Amino acid sequence: MWLAGPPGLEELPPVAEAPALAFGEGETPPARGGTGQLRVKAGASGAEIFTGVAWRWIPRAFVDRVQVSRRLEPDAAGAWEPLLVSGADNAADGVFVRRVGDRLAFRVARWDGSWQTRAEGRSQGSTVGGLATVTLDRVGGAVTVSLAGRQILRAEADLLPIAPARIRLVVLPGGLTPPSR
């Protein structure tokens, strides 16, 4: 570890229980986090830990919790679109969104050869263009979706291990297709 980066890796803070902040290719990563909080780049190995001053890369195969925030402008046609998918071509967990008029519907599903819906939720009032926050909490066994800070969906779920290298934001892994209407 000492040779993996600048001096000081031996004095990193403990990993916080807060969800790892996920961001995608071409996106600006979160500039700050809580001390000990992780951030992960979707599809990349390892994670970065916030020291209270700066982010430092650490080797990390899995995270217990991951969170992504996205401004939602789903297709007007009402097709299910992926927000966050974690897993491989043979097994994955996913959270999907679709437009229903001026509201948004969310679906939590598991891929095991086909998408099996595990829970659904629908926003109240006009929410298209709103900021959604999706959290996968493997330790707590739950998936939550919030819009503008208001929880829309909470589903109990036995989530697969969350590997940063197998997180996909908006793009499905391999040839997986979104769940049907």
Q: Residue 127 belongs to a domain with what CATH number?
A: 2.60.120.560
* pTM of the shown model: 0.86
- HSE toward the beta carbon, residue 13, CA cutoff 13 A: 18
Of 12, 32, 64, the residue at which a domain comes to its end is 64
> Domain containing 29: what range?
2-64
Whether residue 178 is predicted with pLDDT greater than 70 in this model: the reply is no
| 160 and 85 belong to one structural domain | yes
Read off the pLDDT of residues 107-161 as tens digits, 9 standing for 90 and up: 999 999 999 999 998 877 666 667 889 999 999 999 999 988 889 899 999 999 9
**Radius of gyration for the alpha carbons in the chain, expressed in angstroms and rounded:** 17
pLDDT at 179: 62
Check residue 91 and give its pLDDT.
Answer: 94
pLDDT of residue 126: 65
For residues 143 and 136, is the Cβ–Cβ distance under 8 A? yes
Confirm whether 178 is domain-assigned: no
* Average pLDDT of the residues in 88-106: 88
Residues 128 and 72 occupy one common structural domain: yes
Compute, in degrees rounded to 10, the torsion defined by CA atoms 20, 150, 154, 112.
Answer: -60
Q: For residues 13 and 58, state if they share a domain.
A: yes
Same domain, 122 and 164: yes
User: Which tens digit of pLDDT belongs to each residue from 3-59?
Assistant: 555 555 567 999 999 999 999 988 889 899 999 999 999 999 999 999 999 999 999
- Contact assessment for residue 87 and residue 98, using Cβ atoms and an 8 Å cutoff: no
Tokens describing residue 101: 């008029």
Q: Is 150 left (phi over 0), alpha (psi -120 to 50) or beta?
A: beta
